[in-house]
Structure 1
């Protein structure tokens, strides 16, 4: 029985290793050459597996690309969340400023070559904009809604309905990221998008309470 379990474990490990090798090889090739210029024969050669192994794990090249895009987006989301946790520990009690800083960190991430090409440029072109919208919804909506709720509770922004505010801000961030990714001068686009975004966000700030004038 123990021998059977060990055999199954080795088989499962081999299957997982094969899939991981395919995703890693495809990720490097897609980031370097782009989706159209990368053939499945290039991927299996780089991963050192057979073509049959590729089609065992993935329906086709687009399905493999979806896995690569998801992994890239997940890693970036985890990195940004880790940054926000560190900021929150250093500056507790100001959710709105933390969120604004987090938006700027995301725009910085949009200048990362692999993330930019795979997620922002190739992703919508290969899988359609619905794929990008799904990633935003999966990795961003909940955290954004929580941060906005806390900002409202702290009195830092106007008490607006959180659900539509979340979707509209997510769309704004999405458009800013695509603007950066498609610009010829990425650095300038990043600076310009960051300035415009923060100015728009400043408009959500709650006005300080007015002290009634004393009657003379």
Structure 2
């Protein structure tokens, strides 16, 4: 997360994120919508917001003095966010 942009350059780093990491988040979200697991959400916007949350979570863990606790906290927060868009019916 820290060294990638330095080594690759910001433009190449963003292209790799878009193609690989973000693409996976968008694809999984599309599948969950199609399966009825989550409500009808704007996929592109929701995927970008989820990707940003995952990226922020990774930085929180990387910067933490207690990575295990930070990891548990990040996971708990992400699960609550996902729970919020799950289809309830």
User: Pairwise CA RMSD of aligned residues?
Assistant: 2.0
Name stretches of at least 5 consecutive residues in structure 1 with no aligned partner: 1-119, 209-216
> Residues 102-113 of structure 1 correspond to what in structure 2 (within 5 A)?
none
* Structure 1 residue runs of 4 or more that deviate by more than 4 Å after TM superposition: 127-132
Match of 2:86 in 1: 205
TM-score normalised by length of structure 2: 0.82
Of 15, 34, 43, the residue aligned with 1:162 is: 43
Q: How many residues align?
A: 88
Does the 8 A contact of 1:158 with 1:206 survive in 2? yes
Match of 2:62 in 1: 181
Does the 8 A contact of 1:121 with 1:182 survive in 2? no
> Residues 40-51 of structure 1 correspond to what in structure 2 (within 5 A)?
none
Name stretches of at least 5 consecutive residues in structure 2 with no aligned partner: none
Greater relative contact order (Cα 8 A, min sep 6): structure 1 or 2? 2
Match of 2:74 in 1: 193
Larger-gyration structure (1/2): 1
Query: How far apart are residue 142 of structure 1 and its match?
Result: 2.4
